[in-house]
Amino acid sequence: MSLSNLAPHLPRLFAKRGLPLHLTFFVTARCNAKCKHCFYWDSLNKGQTDLTLEEIDKVAASMKRVMWVAFTGGEPFLRKDLPEFAKILHDRLHPVTLSINTNGIKTDEIVASAERLVKNCPTTFVGILCSLDGLQATHDRIRGVPRNFERTVETFRELKKLSAHHPNMGAGISTTFCAWNQDEMDEMFEFVVKDLKPDNWDLSYVRGKPMVPAIGVADVAKYRRLKARIEQAFASGALNYYQNMPLSRVVHAKERLATKTILETLETGKFQTPCYAGALSAVISEEGDVYACEMLSEKLGNLREAGYDLAKIWEAERARSMRTFIRDTKCFCTHECNTSINLLFNPAAYPKIGREMLREWTQPNRVENFGSDRPHHDGVKVAPMTTQHPVLPNAPATPVAALAGAVPTDPNGRAEKENGTGQ
């Protein structure tokens, strides 16, 4: 991995114009799990024609450098050519990091593919996160696959062994916090921190419209407490945060700030920070549809129809209108990846990130509780975040509502784009 890959992105701290530097790629809509919290569930396995390597190469040729690529789906490793897919992006776009979420079901295939992929991307830090939503019974119940827990744990252990031989790789755990696992997180914590010892433990609050709606109404106070425990584990050294990743301390400080921002959003249902989706961040579907983010349903264009030229879509009126809408309506949500980019590229957030770093250096034994001791927050339950969407380009800007327990009615009678995955 190389820090020199980061420098070209620094001007974007001040200039938001230009092609995206954060790309979420839905590499396939095929999946071998049936997760009850998945909000992409009704788009899976519908016979979509994934972009081919040749098509991906043309798309990448139309772009400039990117900072972060996130592979998601579907199950990304069901694509046999994932290492070649990654190599194209590595060679053409020089990402600093590539993150991949996997459900970990097909151990041998995943580990063999991961090894080829990591070798194909020598100057990129590759973080592979195995999804684990609870201990055996809970995980398998949520995921709908017998022995899923056992297989995912085995995959994680093998990936961890692999990462020991590849400094540009980290193996982490990703958990979607939901109504079905929120009450066994103490046991889960012991297992993850003391037994698995991942390079990162990524905890996401359930979002979108899950297959089983009741799974999406989780207790924010419990989420906050688990976040605080994980942070304590990082502070005490019981958990690492991708030690080999460039600027991992800065990134981790920014992650703490992102957690605070997301909790504030969940509890207040109010805008916290400007969103750069549609400017710095883009989402590309397996068939080449381009979106500003995973939540807004308005498609900006299709790469096949645009001659594989992302700039053509990104600079068109539709994309410009979307950027204006997002800015003018102060759109907000709790999506972790976007919150992360929104803070990292907002100069106004830097004093706060600096304070987080200072605390880490001056108070190594600090207690970070993310406000867990605020009793009036106990028992706050929040439904998955959702948004209202405009019909671009001529619709009047509709303020986006993302309210706790009060999912707004879509004024246009349109379905929210259920794109994205908890993996």
Contact window for ligand SF4 (CB under 6 A) among 69-77, 119-127, 185-193, 194-202: 69-77
Angle separating helix axes 53-61 and 82-93, nearest 10 degrees? 10
Residues in the chain: 423
Query: ∠ at Cα 401 (398, 406), nearest 5°?
Result: 135
**Cβ proximity to ligand SF4, 72 vs 120, nearer residue:** 72
Does 155 contact ligand SF4 by CB under 6 A?
no
Window of 72-80, 166-174, 218-226, 359-367 that interacts with ligand SF4 by CB under 6 A: 72-80
94-113 positions binding ligand SF4, by CB under 6 A: 103
Tally Cβ neighbours within 10 Å of residue 20.
Answer: 26
| 421: contact with ligand SF4 by CB under 6 A | yes
Residue 334 CB, nearest approach to ligand SF4 (Å)? 8
Residue 282, token pair as written in the block: 């883009």
User: x/- site string to ligand SF4, residues 220 to 259, per CB under 6 A?
Assistant: ----------------------------------------
Which C-beta is closer to ligand SF4: that of 98 or that of 296? Answer: 296
Task: Answer whether 192's CB lies under 8 Å from 156's CB.
Answer: no
3-state helix, strand, coil in the chain (%, to 5): 40, 15, 45
Contact (Cβ atoms closer than 8 angstroms) between residue 298 and residue 389 = yes
* Residue with smaller CB distance to ligand SF4, 176 or 372: 176
- Binds ligand SF4 (CB under 6 A): choice among 159, 233, 293, 382: 293
Q: Tokens in use for 233?
A: 């584990």
Q: Which residue's CB is nearer to ligand SF4, number 149 or number 241? A: 149
Residue whose CB is less far from ligand SF4, 1 or 293: 293
Among 22, 24, 57, 74, binds ligand SF4 (CB under 6 A): 74
Which stretch, 13-21, 33-41, 91-99, 345-353, contacts ligand SF4 (CB under 6 A)?
Answer: 33-41
173 binds ligand SF4 (CB under 6 A): no
Interaction of residue 38 with ligand SF4, rule CB under 6 A? yes
CB of 105 within 8 A of CB of 140? Answer: no
Told to check if 275 binds ligand SF4 by CB under 6 A, we report: yes
User: ∠ at Cα 124 (123, 125), nearest 5°?
Assistant: 125
Applying the rule CB under 6 A, the residues between 307 and 326 that interact with ligand SF4 are 326
Q: What angle do CA 384, 399, 377 make, to 5 degrees?
A: 40
What sign results for the dihedral spanned by CA atoms 336, 338, 339, 340? positive
Site string for ligand SF4, 334-373 (x = CB under 6 A): -x--x-----------------------------------
CB of 221 to ligand SF4, least distance (A): 23
CA distance 358 to 74: 39
Can you tell me which of 292, 349, 382, 392 binds ligand SF4, judged by CB under 6 A?
292
Q: Out of 262, 333, 343, 344, point to the residue binding ligand SF4 (CB under 6 A).
A: 333
Question: Measured in whole angstroms, how far is the alpha carbon of residue 128 from the centre of its chain?
Answer: 12
3-state secondary structure of 126: strand
Provide the token pair at 348: 């106004």
CB count in 10 Å sphere of residue 286: 19
Positive or negative torsion for Cα 318, 400, 175, 36: negative
Asked if 75 is part of the footprint of ligand SF4 (rule: CB under 6 A), the reply reads: yes
Helix (H) or strand (E) holding 203: strand 201-205
Q: Which of 86, 235, 331, 341 binds ligand SF4 (CB under 6 A)?
A: 331
# residues contacting ligand SF4 (CB under 6 A): 28
Per CB under 6 A, does 28 bind ligand SF4? no
CB 110 within 8 A of CB 143: no
DSSP helix/strand/coil, 329: coil
Residues engaged in binding ligand SF4 (CB under 6 A): 31, 33-35, 38, 40-41, 73-75, 103, 275, 277, 292-293, 295-296, 326, 331-333, 335, 338, 387, 400, 421-423
